[in-house]
Amino acid sequence: MIALSDIKGVGEATVARLAELGITTPSQLVLRLPSRYVDLKSPVRAREAECGQFCLFEGTVVGKTSPSKRGARGFTARLLDAADSGARFFKVTFYNQPYYHSVLKEGETFRFLGKIQPGDSLLINPVFEPVQKVRNLDGVFTVYPLRGVIGQGAFKKLVRSALDALSAADMPAEVLEVLHSAHFPTVISEAEQGVRRLAAFDAATAVAIYKKTVNRGENVRKVFYNLPENIILRYVSSLSVTPTESQKRTFEEIFGDLTSPSDMSRIVSGDVGSGKTLTAFFAAVCAAEAGHQCAVMAPTEILAAQHAAKFADIADRLGIRFALLTASTPRAEAARTIGGLRDGEIKVVFGTQSLLSSRVVFADLTLAVIDEQHKFGVNERAELQNKGARDVLTLTATPIPRSLALTFYDDIAVSHVERRAEAAPNVSTRIVSDAKLGDMLRFVAAECGRGRQAFIVCPCIRDSEGFETLSVNGFEREYGGIFASVPHAVLHGRLSGEEKDRIMSDFSAGKLSLLVATSVVEVGVDTKASVMCVLAADRFGLASLHQLRGRVGRDGSEAYCFLHVSRATDRAAERLKAIAECGDGAEVAERDFEMRGAGELLGTMQSGATLTPALGLPMTPAVLHEARSLADGERSRVAEYFSSAFAPELYREFTEKVVRVTLDS
C-alpha cells in the first residue's frame, strides 16, 4: 500500500498537518468526505440564509464605502439581491483586501460564496466572481471538516492526487468512480448518489465480515419437528375462510423453516387486516402436532383474548389443547393453566407479558410467536427464547427499523402477506389543528348519529400538567356534552378484564357508537367503525398511528382517520405528514427508519442513528436497497478491497465486535 509521502504535493509539513486531523494513510485522506455540499447552480435569497451556513449569493453593486486608512483597511459593499424579486439588499464586507474596492464596480453583478455571519454584513471576505465570467463559482462547492488546519482548496488538491495514486495502485474502478462523485460532483444529485453508494459499499463489507465471522453453529437446529407432509392441507381444511395465495406461501415458508437444519427467525409482514394471524396459528399448530409447545405473546389482553377466541375452532377441529393467560385470568384458572404448561398438556398458550413471569414454566416450549413487534423491546422478546423457544415468528404491519436493517444481514427472513383484494385502501387521513378540534368532534358526533361507529383515542388515562383535556378523564369532562346523545363508553388498560370484554362486546354488537379509549385499542380490535380520532397524535409513534388507523374501514366502507395536534415540534410534524402520505405499512416502516434510525445492530437499542461501521455514514433504507442491488461479483470485489487492501484498520473494531456479540432479532 502506498504511503502519504508517496502522494504528489505531500511533504513533511503537510504530513504533520494531516496527522492533526487523524489522517495518516491515503485511504483515510480520500475517506474524509465533505461535510457539506453547496449548490453553485442556484444562488439563494439573502433573507432566507441561515447563520453559519455556506451559501452562494448573486447581487448587483449599488454602493460601497471607502476603504479605511488604518487597521484592517476594510470596506463594505451594498448589493441588490438578484435572486429576490422583492428588491431586497444585503451587505458584504472585505478586510485587508482594499484592492477589491475597484473591482466591485457599481452597476455590475457578482456571485459571492461564503459563510453567513451574524451582524450587519451577510458575508465577510467571501470568494466572488463577476456573473459574466464565472469559472470557479459553478457546479458544486465542497466543504470539508478541517478545523482550519489546512485550506479547503489545498485539501481538495491532495484528495485528487491521492485518488490518482490509488487508481495507479489498482483501486477497483467502481470504488474510484464513487469516491470521485463524492469529492468532485458536478451537481448535488451526483454527490448524494456517490455518498449513498459509498455507504452501500461499507454496508456490504460489514455483511461480508459478519457472515464470515459469526459462528453459525449456534443456529444449528437442536429441536426437531416431526410433521406430516399434509400438515398444510390439514390446517387449511380446519379454517372457515379460504387463505390467500400469499398466506399459503407463508405457510410453506414456515413449514420449511421448522423442518430445516437451522432455527427459525422469521418476520411475517403484512398491512393491517391482511391476515397475518392465520400464519401465526399455522406455526402454533405445527408445534402442537410435533408434540412441542408454542407461546403466542400479544401486547394487550384484548388482543390475546381475541386470538384465543379465533383459535378455538381450529383447536377443536384438530384436537389441540390451548389456554389464555393474562393478568386478568381468574386465579384458579391461571393455576390450572400454569400446571398444564408445566406438565406439557397445554400445547398452545395465548397471553401478554404475563407469559414472561417466573411462575410460568414450560415442559417443552420450542416456538415463540410475537404479535405486534413494535410493542415489545429486544429484551422482552428474548425472554421467551430464554424459556426454551429457539424458533421465533414475529408478526408486524410496520417492521421496526432495527428489523429492517437486520434482514440485510440475513439474520431474519421475511414473509410478506398481501392485503386481500376486497381490502383496498379506503381510509382518508387528515391532520387537524387545535383550532379545528371542536369541528372534528362535532363531525364525529354527526357520524355516530347516522349510525356509524367511531374511536377517540387519548394519550393517557388521567390528567397531567399541560394535557388536561387530552386524557380520557379530561376529555369526558371537557367534551362529553358534544356526545351526550351518543351511546358511548370509556375503555383503558386499568379496567378489569370482565369490563373490557363487556365494552368491546357491546361495541362489536353495535350497542355503542363511540369508544373513548387509550391506545389499548391500537391492536387486534375488529369492528365496523369508520372514524378514528387520535388526540395529541404528535405523542404517538408512526407504527402506533398506522395501527390505530387500521382499526377503521375494515368492512371496506369509506372511513376517516383524524390526527389532532396542538403544539407539534418539527420532528412530530414530519411524522404526521409521513403517516398522512403513506397508506402502506411497509412504506410507513421505511419512513420510520429514515426519521429515527435503526439503533444498535449489535446491541438492544431499537432506534437512533444507525451508521455504517467504518465510514460512519447514515444507514438508511436507500443505502440498504443500494447494497442489496450490488452484483455478486462487485459486492465481493468491493468487500475484499475495503477490508484488506484499502482500509483494514477501519473494520478491525467492527470485526472484534461481531465476534463478541450475536445479533438478536
Question: What 3 state SS string does 184-226 have?
Answer: CCCCHHHHHHHHHHHHHHHHHHHHHHHHHHCCHHHHECCCCCC
E strand or H helix at 6: none
Give the pLDDT of residue 602.
42
Distance of CA 288 to the CA centre of its chain: 36
Q: Using H for helix, E for strand and C for coil, what is the string for 558-572?
A: CEEEEEEECCCCHHH
Mean of pLDDT over the chain = 84
Q: Which three cell numbers stand for residue 416?
A: 410478506
CA atoms lying within 13 Å on the CB side of residue 100: 23
Residue 244: other Cβ atoms inside 10 A:
18
**Among the residues of 66-172, which ranges form H helices?**
152-168
What pLDDT sits at residue 217? Answer: 47
d(CA 563, CA 536): 8
**10-residue mean pLDDT series, the chain (665 residues):** 84 91 91 89 89 91 90 90 90 93 95 91 93 87 88 91 89 92 93 92 82 61 91 94 92 95 86 83 97 92 88 95 92 95 96 90 94 58 78 76 52 74 70 90 93 90 63 82 90 82 85 88 72 88 81 83 82 80 68 56 44 76 78 87 84 67 43
Nearest C-alpha neighbor of 371 from the set 251, 280, 243, 480: 280
State the virtual CA torsion across 160, 166, 168, 171 in degrees, nearest 10: -120
Cα gap 260→47, rounded to integer Å:
64
HEC letters along 248-260: HHHHHHHHHHHCC
Sign for the pseudo-dihedral over CA of 471, 477, 478, 481:
positive
Which residue's C-alpha cell is 489522517? 23
pLDDT for res 193: 93
Residue whose C-alpha is closest to residue 301's, from 334, 271, 340, 346: 334
Burial state string for 31-43 with b = 16 or more CB within 10 A and e = fewer than 16: bbbbeebbbbeeb
Determine the residue type at 495: L
Q: Which of 361, 341, 342, 355 is nearest to 299 (CA)?
A: 355
State the pLDDT at residue 607.
Answer: 42
What is the rounded CA–CA span in Å between residue 114 and residue 144?
14
Closest CA to 309 of 504, 454, 512: 504
How wide is the angle at C-alpha 522 spanned by C-alphas 391 and 512, nearest 5°? 135
Q: Give the span between the Cα atoms of 503 and 305, in whole angstroms.
A: 14
* In the block, residue with C-alpha cell 435572486: 83
Given this model, what pLDDT does residue 379 score?
Answer: 58
CA-based nearest residue to 560, from 399, 662, 473, 450 = 450
| 287 contact partners, CB below 8 Å, separation of at least 6 | 225, 293, 294, 347, 348, 366, 367
